[in-house]
Amino acid sequence: MAMEGVRYVTDEAGKRVAVVLDLKTHGELWKDMEDVLVSHSRKRERSIPLEEARAELIRRGKLDG
């Protein structure tokens, strides 16, 4: 069953290896998927405590103290 606005890229064996989404049809879904992918890619980054991040933003003048 084909879905509107979705195309698959296949390898030589016919196995699906990628997908192409029509952003006019699925733009909001892509935004959600992109957020998940970014979050996943940052999983191993060092976290910063909220107060430390807040203090740094105040120091840089990006947030009122």
The DSSP-derived string for 4-61 is TTEEEEE-TTS-EEEEEE-HHHHHHHHHHHHHHHHHHHTTTSPP--HHHHHHHHHHTT
Determine the structural domain holding residue 40 and report its residue range: 6-59
Q: State pLDDT tens for residues 37-51.
A: 999 999 999 999 999
Looking at residue 41, what is its pLDDT? 95
Checking if the pLDDT of 1 tops 80, the result is no
- What is this structure's pTM? 0.55
Residue 1 lies in a domain: no
Checking if the pLDDT of 11 tops 90, the result is yes
Residue 65 lies in a domain: no
What domain count does the chain have? Answer: 1
